[in-house]
Structure 1
Amino acid sequence: MVAVLAMKGAVMMCSYVINTIAFKDKLKKGISQADIIEESKKMGFDVIEVRSEFLNGRPEELERIKKVSERKNIGVFYSVNDVLYKNGQLNSKLPHYVKQMHQMGASNIKLNLGKCGYLNSAGLVRLLDGTFSLKIENNQTLAESDLVATQRFFRLIEGAAIPHISYCFDIANWSWLSATANEAAVALANVTDYVHLKNEMLIDQRRQVTDSLEKGDLDWRSLIKLLPMARYLGFEYASTPEVIAEDLEKVKSFLSSK
């Protein structure tokens, strides 16, 4: 199901994405991410987001992800556990990640920002050939996801008129950073077209991501309202298929009631 997201007078189509961390227990046992595509489709998701750390590194797996996703009519995103900028320069592994992305038939690739010393617009233009989009996401590390640095990066992108780059706003990860999720949402709303939904709370005196959107300290409904340009809503937390399916229905119900 693709929802119609209506906010501030605008109407926008919204697709639902499941990040494969949702199946963490299965993946830790060695099940391929290709094997959870059909289940993700049955749960009601439009896109599956493959994680780099759960790939076995063989081209055969990437090709199988592409074949199964095409057969099941589900989109593919690629989440890379790495940074766009390393030591102030574009990550030398980017061509490898882009190749993997194309092999699995993904439409975008997502990384954390890292430390951007200078923009390197020529390198980004060569990388972004128009066949895919690049998403920048906040992780839980200040050095790689600082709000001020992220704002500066997108100002530079706008000034250089580089297309196909936008932001993936993880609502929970801000709890580990210097800005609050609400502050960051206001600052980055105009560049955010993808939202990672999850919740967090203190458990045994340690802040942890929970196994349900409804369990935690964050008000995901109010945060969605602050991000009116979001076209994709992703579910990125380990849980059971039953809980995630319930959370998906709650999000759909919330959006349909607006």
Structure 2
Amino acid sequence: MKLILNTWIFENAIKNEADQIELVDRVAKLGADGIEVRREYFKDIDLELKAIGERARKQNLIVNYSVPDEIFLEDGSVNPRLERYFDEGKLMGINKIKFNTGHFDRFTGNLKKALGGLPLDQIEMNVENDQTAVSGTVQAIKTFLDQANKAGLTQLGYVYDLGNWGFTHSDAVQSAKDLAKYTHYIHLKNTIKHEDQMVTSADLDTGMFDWKNIISYLPRDVSFALEYPMENDEQILEQIKLFRREVGEY
């Protein structure tokens, strides 16, 4: 299994004007297997796309791409920006691209025709449980992936995002059981209830979820990503060691 660092980890650096090109080298020095680039963090997307790809190849890093957009728009139509996102991914040489499902409940067309033109043979496309009622429920995700599977789009998969189940007040264990067969990628973060709101923890072992138990219900042969802000590289290294120590026994 591979360990990816999502660039949300480096939130402080991003706020201090670092770009994601720089973060490729930082991820490599931390000993991770890859980087997950966040589209919303680009400062000069045309410059950064190619440079990230080149630098990642030199460092022998996997590149995944997190896009904060949905597959199906509010009227149920397929998002016309999807093709552009895949083109951006090609420039970086990505393995996986991630979206939110959006309003698949309002889609009325032919699913294979609608999505079959995307380069799914080159880039793995996944959906994630986000923090909304539209795209953040087991029912919404499973309905879409069941239909995709029936339509022959068997390469479409799911990103199990542990922390987001806290924001939707869902059962993370049951969700893991229900979505395990579609899970291609796992995002790890924990969630703390602070007064009347949920916040993301900076430590996998601190929060409302027993992450080690939960991943026991999910596939072993998938990539994992750490996805929560941390203060410095020392803290990141400790979390990487924690993950590798525990998952080595998984």
**What is the TM-score of this pair, normalised by structure 2?**
0.93
**3-state secondary structure, aligned to 1:126:** coil
8 Å contact from structure 2 (residues 120, 155) kept in 1: no
Counterparts in 2 of 1:129 and 1:137: CA distance versus 1, 3 Å = closer
Q: More strand per residue: 1 or 2?
A: 1
CA contact (8 A) 2:201 2:228 kept: yes
Identify which of 12, 15, 27 aligns with 1:40. Answer: 27
Q: Is the 8 A contact 1:146 1:178 kept in 2?
A: no
Whole-angstrom CA distance in 2 between matches of 1:57 and 1:110: 21
Separation in structure 2 between the aligned mates of residue 132 and residue 221 of structure 1, nearest angstrom: 29
Determine the C-alpha separation between the residues in 2 that align with 1:152 and 1:226: 20
Q: State the identity %.
A: 27
TM superposition shift of 1:136: 0.6
For residues 180-236 of structure 1, the C-alpha deviation after alignment (integer angstroms, 9 at most, x for no partner) is 111110100000021100001122432100111111111010111010255111000
Instruction: Quote how far apart the aligned CAs of 1:28 are.
Output: 1.5
CA–CA distance in 2 between the matches of 1:234 and 1:33? Answer: 16
2:237 corresponds to which residue? 245
- Contact residue 33 and residue 55 of structure 1 kept, 8 A: yes
Which residue in 2 is equivalent to 1:10?
A: none
Whether the 8 Å contact between 1:193 and 1:229 is mirrored in structure 2 is: no
- Asked if 1:63 corresponds to 2:50, the answer is yes
User: What is the root-mean-square deviation in Å for CA atoms of aligned residues?
Assistant: 1.4
| Cα 1:57/1:93, change in 2 over 3 Å | farther
Where structure 2 has 5 or more consecutive residues not aligned to the other structure, the ranges are: none
Aligned to 1:4: none
Matched, 1:124 2:111: no
Q: Does the alignment pair 1:51 with 2:38?
A: yes
2:196 maps to 205
Q: Could you list the per-position Cα deviations for residues 168-189 of structure 1 after superposition, in whole angstroms to 9, with x for gaps in the alignment?
A: 0001101122531111101000
1:105-130 CA-partner distances (Å, limit 9, x unpaired): 11221011111023622121111341
Q: Does residue 206 of structure 2 align to residue 215 of structure 1?
A: yes
Tell me, which stretches of 5 or more residues in structure 1 are unaligned? 1-13
Give how far 1:96 is off.
1.2
In structure 2, how many angstroms separate the alpha carbons of the residues matched to 1:213 and 1:185? 17
Distance (Å, rounded) in 1 between the aligned partners of 2:152 and 2:223: 23
TM-score by length of 1: 0.91
Moved over 4 A (4+): none
**3-state SS in 2 of match to 1:39:** helix
Amino acid aligned to 1:245: L
Native 8 Å contact 1:114 1:145 kept in 2: no
Of 75, 78, 94, 2:65 maps to 78
Distance (Å, rounded) in 2 between the aligned partners of 1:168 and 1:146: 13
Deviation at 1:63, TM superposition (A): 0.8
Equivalent position to 2:130, from 121, 139, 155: 139
State which of 95, 106, 116 in structure 1 corresponds to 2:83: 95
Asked whether 1:159 is paired with 2:159, we answer: no
In the alignment, which residue of structure 2 is the partner of 1:169?
Answer: 160
